[in-house]
Amino acid sequence: MVKSLSLDKNGIRKGAWSEEEDDKLRAYIHRYGHWNWGLLPKFAGLSRSGKSCRLRWMNYLRPNIKHGNFTTEEDNLIVELRKKLGNKWAAIAAKLPGRSDNEIKNRWNTHLKKRAHDEDIVLELEHLGSMEPDQANLKENKDLECEKDRAMINLASESLSSSSSSCWLGLGGAVFGDVPSQTSSYQLADDFWTESFLEDITSSVDSMPSPYLVDNLISGSSCQDMTVVDEFSWSMLDSCSEHNSEFFNC
C-alpha cells in the first residue's frame, strides 16, 4: 500500500520509505530534534525533501502515534467533530491523541463519509415517514420541516457529542492519562523512547553526521553560510539540552 520508489531530477527520493530511512530519521530527530526541516534531510543522510521527512515524522514515526483500527468512540468523535469543524483535519486530530490529521482524513474519506451520509438519509426518511401525506406535498411545509430536520440532526449530534466525549475521556484517561487540550504539542516523557529502541539506534546515530560537525553537506553553500548554520545549530542544540521536549512538539 505504498508508492513505489522513484528519484526526481534532483536525486530526491520519492515514494515508500524504507526501514533504513525510517531509522535514520527517527534516530536523527531523537538526537537533534527537527530544528529545520529543510536542512534536516542532508544532516540526517536522507535523500528526501524536508517536506517528505516532516510528513513521515508527523504521520508515522512520531512518538505516541497510533496505527491500526479506529475504535467506535474515535469514529463517533470524528463524525461529530467534522460536523462542528468541517474539514479542519488538524483541529480534529488535536482532539484525538495519537492520530494524525492525515490518518483521520483518510478514515473520513474511506469509511465515515459514507456512513454519515447514510445516517442523514435515514433520519430524513424517518421524518418524512411520520408526516401526513398532504403535508408532504406542500412545498412550504416541506421547507419548514427540512429546517426542523436540520435542527433535530444538530440536536442529535450535540447529544452524541456529550455522550461520546465522556466515553472518549474515559478511554483517554485510561490509556493516555489526561487528554491534552492542545495535543499538537506533545510532551516527551523521559521513557518515551524505549530502551530497546535506544540500543538499536545507538550505532547508527553515532555514525550520523551532526549538524555542527558537517561542513560540506549543503551544496553550493559558502564557508560564511556554514558559519551561520553552525552557530545556529549550536544554539539550537544548547536549547535542546535545556528544553528537550520542545524539540518534539508536533
Partner DNA sequence: AATTGAAACAACCGCATGGCG
Partner DNA sequence: GCGCCATGCGGTTGTTTCAAT
Q: Residue 164: in which H helix or E strand, if any?
A: helix 139-175
- Residues 147-166 binding DNA (CB under 7 A) are none
Long-range contacts of 228-234 (CB under 8 A, 24+ apart): 229/39, 232/35, 233/35
C-beta of 1 vs 174, nearer to DNA:
1
Q: How many CA atoms lie within 13 A of 204 on its CB side?
A: 21
What are the residues whose beta carbons fall under 8 Å from the beta carbon of 61, sequence distance 6 or more? 22, 25, 26, 29
For residues 56 and 60, give the distance between their C-alpha atoms in angstroms, rounded to a whole number: 5
Closer residue to DNA in complex, CB, 24/34: 34
Q: Does 51 bind DNA (CB under 7 A)?
A: yes
- Contact pattern from residue 2 through residue 41 relative to DNA, giving x for each residue in contact according to CB under 7 A and a dash for the rest: xxx---x----xxxxx----------------xxxxx---
CB closer to DNA out of 15 and 177: 15
Nearer to DNA by Cβ, of 107 and 145: the residue is 107
Least Å distance, CB 57 to DNA, is 9
184 is an interface residue for DNA by CB under 7 A? yes
Helix (H, G, I), strand (E, B), or coil: what is residue 21? helix
Closer to DNA by CB, 94 or 205: give it.
94
Looking only at residues 62 through 121 of this chain, which bind DNA when binding is defined by CB under 7 A? 67, 87-91, 101-103, 105-107, 109-111
Work out how close the CB of 39 gets to DNA at its nearest, in angstroms, rounded to a whole number.
7
Q: Other CB atoms closer than 10 Å to residue 84's CB: what's the count?
A: 13
Q: How far apart are the C-alpha atoms of 163 and 170, rounded to whole Å?
A: 11
**7 has which bridge partners?**
13
Is 56 one of the binding residues for DNA (CB under 7 A)? yes
Q: Which residues contact DNA by CB under 7 A?
A: 1-4, 8, 13-17, 34-38, 48, 50-52, 54-56, 59-60, 67, 87-91, 101-103, 105-107, 109-111, 184
